[in-house]
């Protein structure tokens, strides 16, 4: 008999499958905290929570029988995922449960924005009757540009098509076939933002998408464009949006999320063209029940040793295999993160080659780790369990191969990624007593410890180039912890990798790019 402990409010319908399972005992103790929670978790096989219960490392370590922690929702901020992973506890969430709810909320905001519904309501209940002040626009034949065409973006497109809108979408992983299936037009980012009468964002918030919609992007939009963000605060630069509305470039904005929540007395709220809601995308009865249903099913699968899909950490690996692969996990993840940040384009193909001792190992779990690490900088929903499925769904060809040529190392691996325009590779090994090392980047030999904040610079091997970089960074108070250079031949193409103590301000990055010998500069976080 499995004991499932539930410490946050969940409806009977949401956990119906658990309640009906003959091999499960459901214990509901809502609001359990402190010593009471520590006592109860000792005998639990599974813990089901929403956002209230804080699942700390102490709680996880007390769960001597604990196999799975399930979050009835998308985020896992209240769960110490690294601690769960370290103890071998699977953490699952429900990424699909609020898809319809968020798409519907976005469309409700779209209509409200087009017809000034919140503003008109406010004046009517105040005793006014000013019809001329709230003349709106029709959605019919207007162009909706969707930035990010995942689950929510595609559901939104269906609704927009029903209102006879012209839909264009930008997503690095959107294929022509999928666009045709939805009856929309696949567009580049610049095209999507320039043709939209309405622009809505549905991307994850990453280093690449933070302030994706900024002053420069607003300048490329149509005059009178209307903007929506029901995804993540920070994708739209809020100060730039304020300026664009004040200038008349943007006719209105509908926001469900903000960079800081709650936003307090935000400057945008002083503008009558702005409508806002308090992060209500997933706030429907159905969505809350759907996420509970989804995680209940996952819990049953995990407890019974059946296949499951929505883990946000490592899947369960046999102890013997885990012990053999453990030394290589950090190396694989670091190389994956490095190569994943080397390109901002959509990855079309990934090849991972194992050599030396690794050629004799069962390496499938390592390949999953590599996929998750490399693609996590482009895809928010990816995790160790669903990485192969997501890659296949996105049309990314993954090739795992083993080689007898170990390039002089006891164990060696190489990851190569290809996009429509370019390809990049990174190789690495383990040095006894020193840990992971990057040994080659794009065929340039190096010896780099993969950690910290790195500057990856491609340049011409000319006298004084390295000195100019060091002088420039020093003049800006940027301390260089380590530096590695690599070249194929004197005077030709070369690279340098610098570990610095802090990220570079944008103006310093731009100045660095102006150095004559430098061809490109990118920041890589490991």
Alpha carbons within 13 A on the beta-carbon side of 278:
3
Instruction: Count other C-beta atoms under 10 Å from residue 482's C-beta.
Output: 13
Q: How far is Cα 65 from Cα 32, in angstroms, rounded to an integer? A: 18
Distance CA 464, CA 474 (A): 15
**Range 30-49 burial, b when 16+ CB lie within 10 A, else e:** eebeeeebbebbeebbbbbb
CA distances from residue 421 to 100, 211, 395 in whole angstroms, order as listed: 35, 25, 16
Q: Which two tokens stand for residue 142?
A: 């207007």
Q: Report the DSSP beta bridge partners of residue 367.
A: none
Tell me the C-alpha distance between 310 and 329, whole Å: 21
For residue 200, the surrounding DSSP H or E stretch is strand 198-201
Please indicate whether residue 261 is annotated as part of the active site. yes
List the structure tokens of 228.
């929506």
Residue 370: other Cβ atoms inside 10 A: 26
Q: Which two tokens stand for residue 345?
A: 């384009």
Q: Active-site residue among 58, 180, 261, 286?
A: 261
Distance CA 450, CA 436 (A): 7
Helix (H, G, I), strand (E, B), or coil: what is residue 102? helix
DSSP notation for 261-289: SS--S-GGGG-TTEEE-SS-TT-SHHHHH
The answer to whether the beta carbons of residues 231 and 202 sit under 8 Å apart is yes
Q: Say whether 180 is catalytic.
A: no
Tell the residue number behind the tokens 């410490």, with chain if given: 7
Q: Measured on CA atoms in the order 392, 288, 313, 68, is the torsion positive or negative?
A: negative
> Strand order of the sheet with strand 90-92?
24-28, 2-6, 46-49, 68-71, 90-92
CB atoms within 10 A of CB 118: 16
Q: Which of 279, 337, 437, 459 is catalytic?
A: 279
Tokens for 377, please give them.
Answer: 């900088």
Contact of 504 with 484, CB cutoff 8 Å: no
Question: CA 374: distance to chain centroid?
Answer: 12
Token readout for 26 is 């459901």
Q: Residue 459 class from Cβ within 10 Å (0-12 exposed, 13-18 middle, 19+ buried)?
A: buried
Distance CA 205, CA 377 (A): 10
Catalytic residue among 105, 178, 202, 232: 232
121 is a catalytic site residue: no
Positions marked catalytic? 232, 261, 279
């Amino acid at each position: 008999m499995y004991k499932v402990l539930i410490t946050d409010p969940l409806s009977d319908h949401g956990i119906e499958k658990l309640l009906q399972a003959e091999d499960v005992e459901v214990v509901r103790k809502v609001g359990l905290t402190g010593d009471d929670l520590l006592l109860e978790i000792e005998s639990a096989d599974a813990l089901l929570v929403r956002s209230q219960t804080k699942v700390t490392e102490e709680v996880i370590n007390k769960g001597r029988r604990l196999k799975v922690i399930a979050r009835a929702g998308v985020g896992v901020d209240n769960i110490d995922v690294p601690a769960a992973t370290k103890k071998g506890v699977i953490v699952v969430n429900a990424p699909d449960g609020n898809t319809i709810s968020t798409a519907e909320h976005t469309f409700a905001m779209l209509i409200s924005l087009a017809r000034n519904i919140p503003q008109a309501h406010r004046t009517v209940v105040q005793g006014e009757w000013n019809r001329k002040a709230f003349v709106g626009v029709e959605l019919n034949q207007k162009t909706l540009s969707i930035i990010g065409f995942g689950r929510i973006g595609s559901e939104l497109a269906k609704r927009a098509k029903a209102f006879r809108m012209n839909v264009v979408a930008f997503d690095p992983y959107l294929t022509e076939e999928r666009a045709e299936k939805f009856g929309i037009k696949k567009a580049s980012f610049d095209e999507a933002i320039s043709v939209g009468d309405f622009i809505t964002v549905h991307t994850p918030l990453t280093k690449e998408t933070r302030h994706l919609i900024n002053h420069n992007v607003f300048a490329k939009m149509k005059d009178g464009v209307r903007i929506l963000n029901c995804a993540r605060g920070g994708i739209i630069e809020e100060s730039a949006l304020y300026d664009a509305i004040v200038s008349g470039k943007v006719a209105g904005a509908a926001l469900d999320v903000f960079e800081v929540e709650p936003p307090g007395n935000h400057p945008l709220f002083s503008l009558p063209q702005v409508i806002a809601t308090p992060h209500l995308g997933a706030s429907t009865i159905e969505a809350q029940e759907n996420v509970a249903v989804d995680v209940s099913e996952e819990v049953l699968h995990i407890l019974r040793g059946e296949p499951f899909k929505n883990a946000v950490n490592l899947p369960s690996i046999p102890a013997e295999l885990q012990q053999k692969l453990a030394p290589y996990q950090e190396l694989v993840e670091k190389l994956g993160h490095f190569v994943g940040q080397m390109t901002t384009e959509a990855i079309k193909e990934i090849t991972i080659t194992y050599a030396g001792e690794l050629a004799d190992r069962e390496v499938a779990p390592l390949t999953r780790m590599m996929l998750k690490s490399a693609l996590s900088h482009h895809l928010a929903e990816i995790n160790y369990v669903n990485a192969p499925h997501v890659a296949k769904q996105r049309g990314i060809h993954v090739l795992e191969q083993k080689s007898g040529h170990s390039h002089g190392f006891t164990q060696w691996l190489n990851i190569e990624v290809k996009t429509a325009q370019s390809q990049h590779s990174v190789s690495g090994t383990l040095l006894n007593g020193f840990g992971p090392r990057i040994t080659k980047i794009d065929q340039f030999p190096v010896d780099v410890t993969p950690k910290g904040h790195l500057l990856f610079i491609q340049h011409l091997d000319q006298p004084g180039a390295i000195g100019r970089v060091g002088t420039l960074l020093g003049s800006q108070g940027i301390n260089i912890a380590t530096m590695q250079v690599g070249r194929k031949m004197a005077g030709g193409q070369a690279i340098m990798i610098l570990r610095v103590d802090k990220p570079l301000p944008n103006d310093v990055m731009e100045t660095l790019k102006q150095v004559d010998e430098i061809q490109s500069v990118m920041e890589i976080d490991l």
